[in-house]
Amino acid sequence: MQRIVVLAGGIGGARFLRGLKEAAPGAEITVVGNTGDDIHLFGLKVCPDLDTVMYTLGGGIHEEQGWGRSDETFTVKEELAAYGVGPEWFGLGDRDFATHIVRTQMIGAGYPLSAVTEALCARWRPGVRLLPMTDDRVETHVVIGTEDGGRRAVHFQEYWVRLRAEPPAQAVVPVGAEQAKPAPGVLDAIAGADVILFPPSNPVVSIGTILAVPGIREAIADAGVPVVGLSPIIGGAPVRGMADKMLAAVGVESTAAAVAGHYGSGLLDGWLVDTADSGAVAGVEAAGIRCRAVPLLMTDAGAAAGMAREALALAGEVRA
Ligand code: GDP
Ligand code: CA
């Protein structure tokens, strides 16, 4: 059986995974999920990226939005607002609240996040093994300028959701990452993988944060198996969201080729760019990364499955 490890953020990772399940129905897929976006709200621990993967693969996602639950209502949020209790900028729906209540209750009872995630997945049956990158607390903070010329750090969610990534990001810091340990199962899955994939997730705050947990980057580089990524940047801009702002903060241009270079040939063996970026192929190959231009828009599950097939085919090529 083919063993595939995928490092995943939220929407880009989840939609790709849905395609990968269709493209490789017999494979054993382990997902290492980003937890740097996690935030405590109303006393509850919220794990946006893990939940997006879980809901998307488990059939509970709000399809158009790409995150949150389908058939959602917002009574609790309205009641909290009536008490003047915020933040009001983070939309938690009633169904979603239940997930965070269960998670927080289990963590309070002493279970690590990995065990909690497994318990939540017992309901959703995502068809993959979903592991948080770490059981330790890691929080991505973004450094922005203040009006008086100083600097301040804000939680990634505040930067992304409340500030809509408008203030230029001077730095992105995965607070706590240096002391974090990979969650149980992460390093074993990487060491036992036949293929490792980077879906079109945010290279800085999703995949970059996972790679910042000591041991994970090294394990991937040492696994001795093909590592293939798919560009989240098409035609010089993110397909959705504001990944360009995060790339600028780490000094990387928002192009498919620059993202490949950012990961580097020490980590990546293969890289898929969109057909719109076919002009970038030669440069990426010159940098020592096998590259192909294929359609990379996940317009539906079938398109995502096509991308997953291309990624696995490229992995087969670089192995040879
Ligand atoms: P987040 O945690 O919800 O932001 O999701 P991820 O980190 O997994 O993925 C975000 C990235 O997915 C963004 O940079 C988008 O450009 C990228 N993305 C979203 N949809 C598509 C798509 O259809 N094709 C490609 N190539 N990238 C996509
Ligand atoms: Ca995310």
This prediction's pTM: 0.97
Q: Identify the band that residue 320 occupies on the pLDDT scale cut at 50, 70 and 90.
A: low
Q: Which ligand is nearest to the CA of 67?
A: 1
The residue nearest atom 5 of ligand 1, judged by CA position, is 10
Give, in order, the Cα–Cα distances in Å from 48 to each of 9, 52, 61, 96, 194: 9, 6, 12, 10, 28
Pick the atom of ligand 1 nearest to 234's CA: 26
| Same-domain check for residues 121 and 79 | yes
Q: How far is CA 92 from the centre of its chain?
A: 19
Select from 112, 147, 171 the last residue of a domain: 171
Select from 171, 186, 216 the last residue of a domain: 171
As a whole number, the mean pLDDT across the chain is 97
Which backbone phi and psi does 273 adopt, to 5 degrees?
-115, 160
| Same-domain check for residues 74 and 144 | no
| Same-domain check for residues 144 and 283 | no
What is the C-alpha R_g of the chain?
Answer: 19
Q: Is 51 annotated as a binding residue?
A: yes
| Same-domain check for residues 193 and 287 | yes
- pLDDT above 90 coverage of the chain, percent: 98
| Same-domain check for residues 239 and 290 | yes
pLDDT at residue 272 greater than cutoff 90? yes
Q: Identify the band that residue 91 occupies on the pLDDT scale cut at 50, 70 and 90.
A: confident
Given a contact cutoff of 8 angstroms between Cβ atoms, the answer to whether 246 and 202 are in contact is yes
pLDDT at residue 310 greater than cutoff 80? yes
d(CA 280, CA 287): 11
Range of the domain at 152: 139-171
| Same-domain check for residues 104 and 39 | yes
CB-based burial of residue 299 (10 Å sphere; 0-12 exposed, 13-18 middle, 19+ buried)? exposed
241 lines ligand 1 (CB under 6 A): yes
294 lines ligand 1 (CB under 6 A): no
pLDDT at residue 319 greater than cutoff 90? no
Look at residue 232 in the predicted model and tell me its pLDDT. Answer: 98
pLDDT at residue 30 greater than cutoff 90? yes
| Same-domain check for residues 147 and 195 | no
Given a contact cutoff of 8 angstroms between Cβ atoms, the answer to whether 87 and 41 are in contact is yes
Pairing between strand 233-234 and 237-238?
antiparallel
d(CA 277, CA 67): 28
202 lines ligand 1 (CB under 6 A): yes
| Nearest C-alpha neighbor of 248 from the set 181, 170, 190, 310 | 170
Look at residue 173 in the predicted model and tell me its pLDDT. Answer: 97
Distance between Cα 236 and ligand 1 center (Å): 14
d(CA 242, CA 265): 25
| Interval 74-81 mean pLDDT | 96
| Same-domain check for residues 154 and 300 | no
| Same-domain check for residues 60 and 195 | yes
* CATH number, position 39: 3.40.50.10680
DSSP state of 168: P
Give, in order, the Cα–Cα distances in Å from 153 to each of 145, 171, 179, 233: 9, 9, 19, 26
Residue type at 31?
A: V
Query: pLDDT digit string (tens) for 255-267?
Result: 999 999 999 999 9
| Interval 162-166 mean pLDDT | 95
Select from 171, 194, 229 the last residue of a domain: 171
| Same-domain check for residues 79 and 98 | yes
Host H or E run for residue 30: strand 28-33
| Same-domain check for residues 154 and 183 | no
Number of structural domains the chain divides into = 2
Which backbone phi and psi does 11 adopt, to 5 degrees?
-60, -50
pLDDT at residue 235 greater than cutoff 60? yes
| Same-domain check for residues 55 and 197 | yes
